[in-house]
Chain A
Amino acid sequence: TQLLEQSPQFLSIQEGENLTVYCNSSSVFSSLQWYRQEPGEGPVLLVTVVTGGEVKKLKRLTFQFGDARKDSSLHITAAQPGDTGLYLCAGAGNQGGKLIFGQGTELSVKP
């Protein structure tokens, strides 16, 4: 059974601080997605990483896929209150493309 462990579960920081969210597994994934979700809404795709060691940047967000394609990280620089939300990592295995999600990281950025 493929599992993804996401940490931390909760993060409360001040505006302007940096933070990193981790997503770890003992399984290899063909790709990994990061989503952001607001209350009462569906997850919104931020990025897909496919190649081991890949780094993608989306403005102040930097995503990295581990060399062995078992782990990933999301780094946010100079967090803003608008970054507040639930961040989810999701790995795609080789079984029909279904996504295995981590538990999520609830981020709160205070002004």
Chain B
Amino acid sequence: DTGVSQNPRHKITKRGQNVTFRCDPISEHNRLYWYRQTLGQGPEFLTYFQNEAQLEKSRLLSDRFSAERPKGSFSTLEIQRTEQGDSAMYLCAPSPSGNTDTQYFGPGTRLTVL
């Protein structure tokens, strides 16, 4: 158990609706990464935070996606006007201070867009 929680674990929504996911890491993880994983593929990088600062965004992250980490602890990922292509597992992975190569993944949020 990594101690990382993600909520909700599953989300079913209709196309065009907005959804928000939350990631709660254990403390002292100053970096936090978001990935997206579609069926049969490895996870793909979306964005990451160093404390509360968002330092990099993948080109996979369209304008409909926004992520925040307001106090450098928990993080949220919002998708506006969802599309069927957004259906995937969304994973957050905090990284311990001093060892940014090692990332411990949360259980993920499975999004299904109908």
Is the pairing of A and B real? Answer: yes
Contact B108 A42 (CB under 8 A): yes
- B2: which A residues are within 8 A, CB to CB? 42, 44
Q: Which of A41, A48, A96, A104 contacts B42 (CB 8 A)?
A: A104
A104 touches B41 (CB 8 A): yes
A102 pairs with B48, CB closer than 8 A: no
Determine if B103 and A99 form an interchain contact, defined as CB atoms under 8 angstroms apart: yes
CB of A98 within 8 Å of the partner chain? yes
Q: Tally B residues with Cβ within 8 Å of A.
A: 28
- Report A69-111 residues with CB < 8 Å from chain B CB: 88, 90, 92, 95-104
Which range contains the number of A residues in contact with the other chain?
A: 20 to 34
A4, A45, A50, A92: the one contacting B104 at CB < 8 Å is A45
Q: Mark B90-103, 1 if CB is under 8 A from A, else 0.
A: 01010100001111
- A residues near B106, Cβ cutoff 8 Å: 42
The residue in A33, A42, A99 that gathers the most chain B C-beta atoms within 10 A of its C-beta is A42
Contacts from B to A (Cβ < 8 Å)? 2, 4, 6, 31, 33, 35, 40-45, 48, 55-56, 91, 93, 95, 100-108, 110
Q: List 6 A-B contacts (CB under 8 A).
A: A42-B91, A90-B43, A96-B48, A96-B56, A97-B100, A97-B103
